Amino acid sequence: MVDILDCGGKSLDLRTPQVMGILNVTPDSFSDGGLFISVEQAIQQARRMVDEGAAIIDVGGESTRPGAKPVSAAEEIERVIPIIEAIARELPVVISVDTSKPEVMRAAVAAGAGLINDVRALREEGTLNAAAALGVPVCLMHMRGEPRSMQENPHYLDVVSEVKSFLAERVSRCIEAGIARERLLIDPGFGFGKKTEHNLALIKHLDAFLDIGLPVLVGVSRKSTIGAVLERSVADRLPGSLALATLACWMGARIIRAHDVAATADALKICHAVKNAN
C-alpha cells in the first residue's frame, strides 16, 4: 500500500492518518450550505482548516445530500474553479475536487487540484478516460442509487461484502482504463444509500476493506447516523463525529473527511499515538 501519495506535485503522507477538510461551495449542502460561496469566504475557511491541521481541502460544487438537485457541469465549474485557483495560489495544501463530471475534473486539475474525489466511483460517461489522462489520484466511493433517491429504503443482504465487492470491481475497471493502482483510494460511502444499521456495520467491519490493499478514506462527519443514535441535530454532532472518526482510524482508515478539522486532527493524533505505543 502506498505511503506517500503524489497529488499533482504535492505529497500526501499517509503513514499517519490525515484530515480532509470539507469546503462545500454550494447553497444547499446539508451542514454548511451557503456559508462559503464567495472566493473570500472560501479562502478564509480553507486557511483556517489548514491552520487546524487539514492536509487536504476537498472543494465541492454540487450537493450530494439526500434529495439534492443536480447542477450542470458549467455551473459546477463556475462555483469551484475560482476557489481552487485561489487556494492553489495562496496555500501549500493538497486540493481535492469533489465531482462526478469529467469536464469539472479536467478544469479543476488545470486550476490546481491534485486529487479527484468521486462519489460515483468514475461510473459516469467519460470519467474513466478523464481520470486516466489527468494522472492525479482518485478516491472511489460506494453509493447505491442517486442522491435524490438513495435513502428510499436501501436494502443489502450483506452490506460489508456487497460494498467491498463493488469497490474491488471499480478498482479493476480503473486499472483496465489505465489508472495506476498506486493512484487509487477507496471510500465505503457512509450515508450514501445506506440505513443506520448499514453504516454501523461498515464501521464495525471497516478493517475488511484493507484487504483491497488501498488507502481507505472515511467521511462520517455530522452524518444522520449520529443523529439517529444520539438524537442530536446536525449542529450537535461533533462528539459523535469524533467517536466515529477515532473508530475508523483505529480500524485502519488513512484519511478522515471532516467539517471540524481541529478537533478531528487532535482525535486522530491520539488514536495514532496509542496504536503505535510500545
Residue 257 known to be catalytic: yes
Asked if 214 and 171 touch (Cβ cutoff 8 Å), the reply is yes
Phi-psi region of 81 (alpha: psi -120 to 50; beta: other; left: phi over 0): alpha
C-alpha 74/C-alpha 24 separation (Å) is 17
The single residue listed with the C-alpha cell 499517509 is 14
**How many Cα atoms occupy the beta-carbon half-sphere of 234 within 13 Å?**
8
Q: Which three cell numbers stand for residue 132?
A: 486516466
Cα separation, 184 vs 14, whole angstroms: 13
**Which residue(s) pair with 98 in the sheet?**
60, 117
Give yes or no: 170 in active site.
no
Contacts of 42 (CB under 8 A, 6+ apart): 23, 25, 36, 59, 83, 86, 87
Which of the following is catalytic: 10, 194, 223, 254? 223
**How many angstroms from the chain centroid is the CA of residue 32?**
16
Cβ within 8 Å of residue 140, ≥6 positions away: 118, 121, 122, 167, 170, 171, 174, 184, 185, 186, 187
| Residues with a known catalytic role | 223, 257
